[in-house]
Amino acid sequence: MTCEGCKGFFRRSVTKKIVYECKFNKCCHIDTFMRRKCQYCRLKKCVEQGMRMDLVLPEELNKTKREAKAAGSGSHLCSSESPNSLSEMKLSYMEGLSPEISELIKRTTLNNNNNFWPTDADLASISVILKFKIF
């Protein structure tokens, strides 16, 4: 649940993978006025309040979706290299990982119900996960 402003801000931030920077101490007070003054702290608060980046359609997938729609009725000529599903896309990030890490990621993000999300303890035990852009 969020306002339209933060909804748009969050979506733009995630899809474009923008990395903001706080000009102060990463602890700016965010309200309807100040939210426009520090994007870093705004995004930080969005996450703190529970907004999840994994609920934003990754740009790469969104692109194939748009292309499919733009193609109109004739759904031919679809020789795109882009992934056709979230699972397919996430799998491309699995290459080169140890089987243990790979399995852990699969179990926590690919096949299970939408409500499951790793706890801080889970994340701490697999800091390697932070390397993935999609997170």
Partner DNA sequence: CTTGTGAATATGACCTAT
Partner DNA sequence: TATAGGTCATATTCACAA
Give the binding site for Zn ion (CB under 5 A).
22, 28, 38, 40-41
Kindly state the number of chain residues that form the binding site for DNA, as judged by CB under 7 A.
24
For the CB of residue 33, give the shortest distance to Zn ion in the complex, in Å: 14
**Residue 12 interacting with DNA (CB under 7 A):** yes
Which of Zn ion, DNA, none is residue 105 near (CB under 5 to 8 Å by kind)?
Answer: none
Of 8, 24, 14, the C-alpha closest to 57 is 14
Tell me the DSSP string of 116-135. ----HHHHHHTGGGGG-TT-
Closest among 22, 38, 20 to 30, alpha carbons compared: 38
- Looking at beta carbons only, is 40 or 93 nearer to Zn ion? 40
Contact flag: residue 134 with DNA (CB under 7 A): no
> Which are the contacts of 87, defined by CB distance < 8 A and separation ≥ 6?
110, 111
Cα three-residue angle 68-9-67, rounded to 5 degrees: 10
Are 15 and 59 in contact by the 8 Å Cβ rule? The answer is yes
Select 12 or 17, whichever has its Cβ closest to DNA.
12
Comparing CB distances to DNA, the nearer of 112 and 125 is 112
| Per-residue binding letters, 52-91, with DNA (x by CB under 7 A) | ---xxx----x--xx--x----------------------
Using CA atoms, how far apart are residues 3 and 10, in angstroms rounded to an integer?
11
- Contact residues for DNA, defined by CB under 7 A: 1, 3-9, 11-12, 18, 32, 35-37, 39, 42, 55-57, 62, 65-66, 69
